[in-house]
Amino acid sequence: MLKTLKKIEFSENVDLKHFCTIKIGGKGKKIYFPEDIKQISYLIQEANDKNTQFFPLGIGSNIIFGDGLIDKVFIHSKNLKKFNFWEENEYVFLEAEAGVSFKTVVNFVKKYNLEGFENLSGIPATIGGAVAMNAGAFGSEIFDLVEEVKWIDFHGNIRISEKSEIDFGYRNTQFQKGSFVYSAILKLKKSEKNIPEIIKNHLLERNKKQPLDKPTSGSTFKNPENFSAGYLLEKSGLKGKRIGNIGFSEKHSNFLVNYGDAKFKDLIELLETAEKNVLDIFNIKLEREVKIVR
């Protein structure tokens, strides 16, 4: 049942499996749905005052929730979908709030035939989550395009940082350490290529290689230097391996798949088994790309 708290929409005792793409998880004590940056700042300050962690939510494509009741201040971006754009010579700048989906950006770049987003086009993400983790695929990442980020820090202060001021790397940014990405400015280039056709072919290829017909959390582990995590998992006997109703895909070894009412405990056991196997065989310690939230 939705209620209001100082004009901020929220819901209590929410089934968290509806807030992540792999459809696993317990209950969230409260999820808030702010409409602007001031409301987010207020929620973060309130969380600090009560010594409670806050946690940003979007599509939840790389998040897996634990069992039971999770007592965090969840801040969802579903009402943060404003975006605008402007042109400067051969470039187009897009400013998008945290809740703007990649599908919306894809429609925009197809309409104006802009290049730079092709490899990212199939990622199930919002701008906020993608910037926070520096999402990427096929050799590209969102920070190839980011010019500026507006964000709220751990104390509720509103800040604006240019790309050169931001600490980011492979699937990692400073925003994962207690911040909320509110919006970002992306720099895209006007193209003479047929961008809609390139994106169409890219999505077809992605569908062939990834198990997108079932609940999944996307890439499970980060790629170690000089290796593909999928290759390491496959050579370690993990391709298609299941525990209960959770398993590594037969199509792509680095994708976890929920085959129906999968249990969190089975998922953790499978992750730990994969990590141990790869360490034993290759002496490589895999780093998780998925975030476990309990």
Long-range pairs of 239-242 with CB within 8 A, sequence gap ≥ 24: 241/270, 241/273, 241/274, 242/270
Residue 63 in tokens: 């998040």
Q: From the options 3.40.50.1000, 3.90.78.10, 3.40.50.720, 3.40.50.12280, give the CATH code of 212-293.
A: 3.90.78.10
Q: What CATH class has 2-76?
A: alpha beta
Position 1 scores a pLDDT of 39
Measure the N-to-C terminal CA separation of the chain; round to a whole number of Å: 23
Q: What CATH class has 83-196?
A: alpha beta
- Range(s) for CATH 3.30.43.10 in the chain? 2-76
Residue 196 in tokens: 């809609």
Q: Spell out the residues 6+ positions from residue 291 whose beta carbon is closer than 8 angstroms to its own.
A: 62, 63, 64
Residue-by-residue DSSP string for 48-107: HHTT--EEEESS-TTEEE-SSEEEEEEEE-TT---EEEEEETTEEEEEEETT-BHHHHHH
Of 3, 2, 10, 129, the C-alpha closest to 58 is 129
Backbone angles phi, psi at 79, to 5 degrees: -95, 5
| Secondary structure element (H or E) that encloses residue 39, with its range | helix 37-49
User: pTM of the entire structure?
Assistant: 0.94
Q: Spell out the residues 6+ positions from residue 10 whose beta carbon is closer than 8 angstroms to its own.
A: 2, 3, 4, 30, 31, 32, 33
Return per-residue pLDDT of the chain as tens, 294 residues. Answer: 345 456 899 999 999 999 999 999 999 999 999 999 999 999 999 999 999 999 999 999 999 999 999 999 999 999 999 999 999 999 999 999 999 999 999 999 999 999 999 999 999 999 999 999 999 998 999 999 999 999 999 999 999 999 999 999 999 999 999 999 999 999 999 999 999 999 999 999 888 999 989 999 999 999 999 999 999 999 999 999 999 999 999 999 999 999 999 999 999 999 999 999 999 999 999 999 999 999
- Range(s) for CATH 3.90.78.10 in the chain? 212-293
Q: Give how far Cα 42 sits from Cα of 10, 47, 153, 154, 157, Å.
A: 14, 9, 12, 11, 9
- Range(s) for CATH 3.30.465.10 in the chain? 83-196
Residues annotated as catalytic (active site), given as ranges: 171, 219, 289
The number of angstroms, rounded, from the C-alpha of 44 to the middle of its chain's C-alpha atoms is 20
